[in-house]
Amino acid sequence: MTLEEMASAARNNIGSGLNESADFTYSVHQIYDELSNAWNTIIYKMSQSNQRYDMKHFTMPRYDIPLKVADLPHEIGRAGYTGVLSAEIPKVAMLHTTPGISFIGPPDMLESYYVYTDPKEIKSHRYSRVIKNRPFVFLDLTQKPNGQNDIYVFNLQEIGLEILTMYFIAADPVGIMTNDGYVGIQEEFPAPLNVQQMMIDTVVEKFIRYYRSLNPGVSPDSQTDKN
């Protein structure tokens, strides 16, 4: 289903569950927000589960990510590297301690770069005889005010690469699809059908439970009953 279809299904099911009560109003934007919350809960549970998932069913693409020269964060310093490039990417979901990036590299996708989140891993890469000269990415997990993550790309000085391609599990795909014309709400939501349905069911249950908590059943009027 597309995100638009998921929101429509949730809205229809909420209306059916509440018999289209005129006392309860909600916007499609509220449904999008709750779908986003449901996604975060599902991704967290997946990351804590021992069950194996095929992550390719949860990834979304990002093309033509522009690279620019930038200073590295203080905690990693330059460590002897020159020509380090950086870019902003949407916040990436974490699976256990592993970032949800299935591919990041050149547009021709001939090589997938290593992705690190710990500065100590950069030092290990630098002193590895096998991979020390290969490009790699440091993902800064500090979320910026705009909801993005910074990435730093090393060992590209000999390649002259200016843009990247990435396939990743977004921390907030709903936000990307509703706010970013790059994907759009009419594109397929990046999750298997059963997960999409879990998200819809979660939202419907939450809306109905909330409404009923505000509108408990009215007790019969005893005086009226006697008449």
Query: Mind giving me the DSSP string for 74-126?
Result: TTT--TT--S-EEEEEEPBPEETTEE-EEEEE-TT-S-PPEEE-SHHHHHHHH
pLDDT at position 74 is: 66
pLDDT at position 52 is: 66
pLDDT at position 181 is: 58
Burial of 158 (0-12, 13-18, 19+ CB in 10 A): exposed
Q: What is the pTM of this model?
A: 0.81
pLDDT at position 197 is: 95
- List the chain pLDDT tens, one digit each, 227 residues: 999 999 999 988 887 766 655 556 678 888 999 999 999 888 888 777 766 677 788 999 999 999 998 777 766 665 566 668 999 999 999 887 789 999 999 999 999 999 999 888 888 888 888 888 888 999 998 888 888 999 999 888 767 789 999 999 999 999 999 886 556 888 899 999 999 999 999 999 988 887 777 666 544 444 444 44
Side-chain half-sphere CA neighbours of 188 within 13 A: 10
pLDDT at position 13 is: 84
pLDDT at position 218 is: 42
pLDDT at position 111 is: 92
